[in-house]
Structure 1
Amino acid sequence: MTKKNLRNLVSDYKNYAFVLLAASVFLYIGVVLPGQGKEPLYDWVMMGTTFLFLVGSYSCFRISLNYKKQLDEQEEL
């Protein structure tokens, strides 16, 4: 891969990770705030989605870090 492609992949995966992180925060806030007449099933679904988004965010950060290491290795050469 070229350096330009690696730089683009690093920034793309970081952006994906931040978007997933922000979405998980909003979903968590929706769980924490009291809701009148809200069914408990909704809380479980939103907490599950929050967890999945956090796992996705972590995965995107790890992938971004791997591409960053590849970019650093190519720049050393």
Structure 2
Amino acid sequence: MGDTMERQKRLWKEKADDYKTFAGVLLALSVFLYIGTLLPTIAPEKKAYLLCLIVILLIGSFSFFHRAIQYIRLLRETDE
């Protein structure tokens, strides 16, 4: 019983770490793309599509951070 619980905790920790990594990558990508919109070389009609993509990436990033927090809370609750 204790071995399966430890395995489950390790799995939750790995998932939380993975979700934090995914969120960090999406956040970095959205920042990189946003900096690209500040450059005057981009065509104005393409800027709207790029901003929509940035919003989608940020939503994905925050949802991955939220999932990571859920797994971290679950780990803390099982430790208590």
- Provide TM-score, normalisation by structure 1: 0.90
Question: Structure 1 residue 75: deviation in Å?
Answer: 1.4
Q: 1:45 aligns with which of 35, 43, 49?
A: 49
Structure 2 gaps of 5+ residues are none
Question: Structure 1 residue 40: deviation in Å?
Answer: 1.9
Is 1:23 the counterpart of 2:29? The answer is yes
Question: Structure 1 residue 49: deviation in Å?
Answer: 0.5
Structure 1 gaps of 5+ residues are none
Q: What's the C-alpha RMSD, in Å, of the aligned pairs?
A: 1.2
More helix by share: 2
Count how many residue pairs are aligned between Structure 1 and Structure 2.
Answer: 74
Match of 1:14 in 2: 20
Match of 1:4 in 2: 10
Aligned partners of 1:41, 1:60: CA distance in 2, in Å?
30
- Which stretches of structure 1, 4 residues or more, deviate above 6 A after TM superposition? none
Question: Structure 1 residue 41: deviation in Å?
Answer: 2.3
Aligned partners of 2:79, 2:15: CA distance in 1, in Å?
16
